[in-house]
A and B are shown apart, each in its own frame.
Chain A
Amino acid sequence: MSATDDRAPASGVEERAGVPDPVHRPVPQPRTRIVLAEVSRREDRHERTRAELAEQTRVGEALVRGLVRAQLALALRLSLVVVIGLGGLPWLFAIAPSVGRVTVLGVKLPWLLLGVASFPFLIGVGWAYVRLAERNEQEFTDLVQRPER
């Protein structure tokens, strides 16, 4: 099973602009020409930053390293939250057995913490990660697609 290249062309318009249809009249409508010009100008700028990243220039390399570092730091910070919040529990019960005997609403605290509270906690951390990771990516995209550098 090879990983096929699944990148779609950037836009259908761009493709049509590159391959003129030989059968139909090549006389474009004025409005169409404006659209094509805009697309091509935007693609130009886009193309330059993309090339810089893809060709591993020093600027591009530094940008990617920064993104990877930011995402890894985020993942590590949030896993630290879980390591302390959940991973600390066995240790807590070991050094302070009285904590394990506390009863809340007729149920022992370890049962409530592990059997019920841990799941919303994990989902909350996951939700925070998705939000923050997408923000990191948005910042990276803005940086790369900044009009003038």
Chain B
Amino acid sequence: MENALVVPAIVAVTLLTVGIGFYGLRLARTTSDFLVASRAVSPTWNAAAIGGEYLSAASFLGVAGLILKYGVDVLWYPVGFAAGYLALLLFVAAPLRRSGAFTLPDFCELRLGSRRLRILATAFVIFIGWLYLVPQLQGAGLTLATVTGSAYPVGAVLVAVVVTANVALGGMRAITFVQAFQYWLKLTALAVPAIFLALQWQADARPAVTPPDGPTFRTTTSVVVEHPATLTFPDGEVRGVRPGETVVFEAGDPVPEVAGVTIDAADWLLPSTAGADDRGLFATYSLILATFLGTMGLPHVLVRFYTNPDGAAARRTTLVVLALVGVFYLLPTIYGVLGRIYTPQLLVTGQTDAVVVLLPEAALGSGTTGRLLAALVAAGAFAAFLSTSSGLLTSVAGVISTDVLGRGSVRGFRLATVIAGVVPAILALNVSGLDVSQVVGLAFAVAASSFCPLLVLGIWWRGLTDLGAAAGVLVGGGAAIGAVLVTVLGPPLSGWPATLVAQPAAWTVPLAFAVTVLVSAASRRRVPADVGATMLRLHAPDTLRL
């Protein structure tokens, strides 16, 4: 794709990000400024910043791509990503803010007074942070490769360098402004082209999303084969293709089926659980559990709550975030659905993550409007990589600087930022076969199986002990990490083992809760003596100022 506007748009977003970062740098003086923005951030700014930080490559690109590929079943991803904030609001937001904990390890030490639990939590924060950072950098590399034809490492390294420098120099105060700006940029970058796309669809006499004969190519399209594959055409013809071969489809040709992609209209339109498929139902519930309960365990989400002035403000901020995120998630569905009509070749190539970036020009043509909108979408995609990576990097660097390096200085934070940024950059360059949305889903599963029980039981149950919490994190989180490693490195599985490993949350989350409660009950004598005072601090209304 040759679009002269894309590169300037990406450069503009990057420069704006750095520019706002430096504006913040002039204001950031003390360590407190760096870490918690001195708690001077207003709720509206904070909510936009949380939204901007949360809407990652998986939300901006991945959700639309998954909808294009799999249909209605994957709508649970956006619903779950939004519902995660409701779970956070109901069970965690206000008490966590009142606890005064800045990071999850802080919370462990405040609530249970255990140094060893703190170290364990630190290890999990770093693992989840890096697990989430790698696909962001990869997404950047793939997007830049798609829209400009550059090599894959360029985008990954570009985002890693910009984000690391920005966080190291400006700290969180800077990125609060950056993140808030990027929420609105991302919303605009999806909403404005969506309006044009809907109008274009009207002007094209509303072509059917699921024509009775299956999707067809609207224009002559050529696909260059990179991996050996078998194409199955609707008339029953089966054709094997080899790498290097170019397959040309004429306008009106039916889209062939490539193994693993849902082409059939009925399958795409209807929930897969409509059959008697227990595994589909299990995977759906597993995904719901991971996304609903995983959000509260993501390190970059929790850090933000400390920038609220008190518990009530934390609650109100969370509600605003829920609304902002909910509005955003109305949009990817439009791209996924229209992608069935305008970019069916992605179903053949499997690069469905590119649908958001490619759709404007595919639907509107490469006139000025199409190119401008394509540039806007590319800029929004870059905003997504930059903002989520910034948030993750800040929280991982914060944990490394206080818990691993043991220094609270600005210099220590900068050193930690470089360490936290270099590792995922190296990983992203060496592991290129991972699927963006799936890895993000696994990060949610690990967070839901490790930190969700720790937070929920720690806030609401007096009987939690350090042993119980450690056992729950080790068993539940360990099982989820095992599933991640098997998915990424292990042999391909089929049947129930594949489902249990690919969507582990439905068994690892209950397991983590059960182990935490049982071990806590067995070690009842280790309940901290000051649990009453801690409970008072977590739950007493802010107006009492206890």
Contact = CB atoms under 8 A, between A and B. Distances in A.
A57 to B, nearest CB: 10
Contact of A111 (B75, B90, B318): B75
B460 A114 contact: no
A33 interface: no
B138 interface: no
A91 to B, nearest CB: 7
A87 B288 contact: yes
B192 interface: no
Given A79-B90, A86-B83, A130-B316, A137 B536 contact: no
22 contacts: A50-B544, A60-B536, A79-B87, A90-B271, A90-B285, A90-B288, A94-B281, A97-B275, A100-B271, A100-B274, A108-B72, A110-B271, A111-B72, A115-B330, A116-B330, A122-B326, A123-B322, A126-B322, A129-B90, A133-B315, A141-B544, A144-B544
A91 B278 CA distance: 10
Nearest to A95: B273
A126 B319 contact: yes
A100 B535 CA distance: 46
Given A1-B35, A64-B535, A94-B274, A122 B330 contact: no
A51 to B, nearest CB: 10
Nearest to A115: B333
B294 to A, nearest CB: 15
A135 B126 CA distance: 38
Interface string B174-208: 00000000000000000000000000000000000
A122 B81 CA distance: 11
Interface in B497-546: 532-533, 535-536, 539-541, 543-546
B541 A137 contact: yes
Interface string A103-125: 00000101100111011101101
Nearest to A50: B546
B91 A1 contact: no
Given A86-B79, A87-B288, A126-B319, 19 more contacts: A1-B35, A1-B408, A3-B102, A6-B100, A10-B545, A56-B532, A67-B540, A93-B271, A94-B281, A97-B274, A100-B271, A108-B72, A120-B326, A122-B83, A126-B85, A137-B543, A141-B543, A144-B544, A145-B544
Contacts of A75: 90-91
Contacts of B323: 123
Residue with the greatest number of chain A CB neighbours at <10 A, chosen from B78, B532, B533: B532
Contacts of A56: 532-533, 536
A2 B106 CA distance: 7
A123 to B, nearest CB: 5
A118 B72 CA distance: 13
A72 interface: yes
Contacts of B103: 1
Contacts, number: 155
Contact of A7 (B270, B276, B312, B545): B545
B398 A126 contact: no
Given A3-B110, A67-B539, A141-B541, A119 B318 contact: no
Contact of A122 (B86, B94, B271, B535): B86
Contacts of B398: 1
B312 A54 contact: no
A60 B35 CA distance: 35
Contacts of A97: 270, 274-275
A4 interface: yes
Nearest to B273: A94
A129 B316 CA distance: 10
Nearest to A76: B90
A127 B326 CA distance: 13
Contacts of A3: 99-102, 106, 110
Interface in B370-420: 398, 402, 408
A140 B541 CA distance: 8
Contacts of B288: 86-87, 90
Contact of B327 (A114, A119, A127): A119
Interface in B300-335: 312, 315-316, 318-319, 322-323, 326-327, 329-330, 333
A64 B539 contact: yes
Contact of B330 (A10, A110, A119): A119
B75 A115 contact: yes
Contacts of B101: 3
B355 interface: no
Nearest to A138: B541
Contacts of A130: 89, 315-316, 319
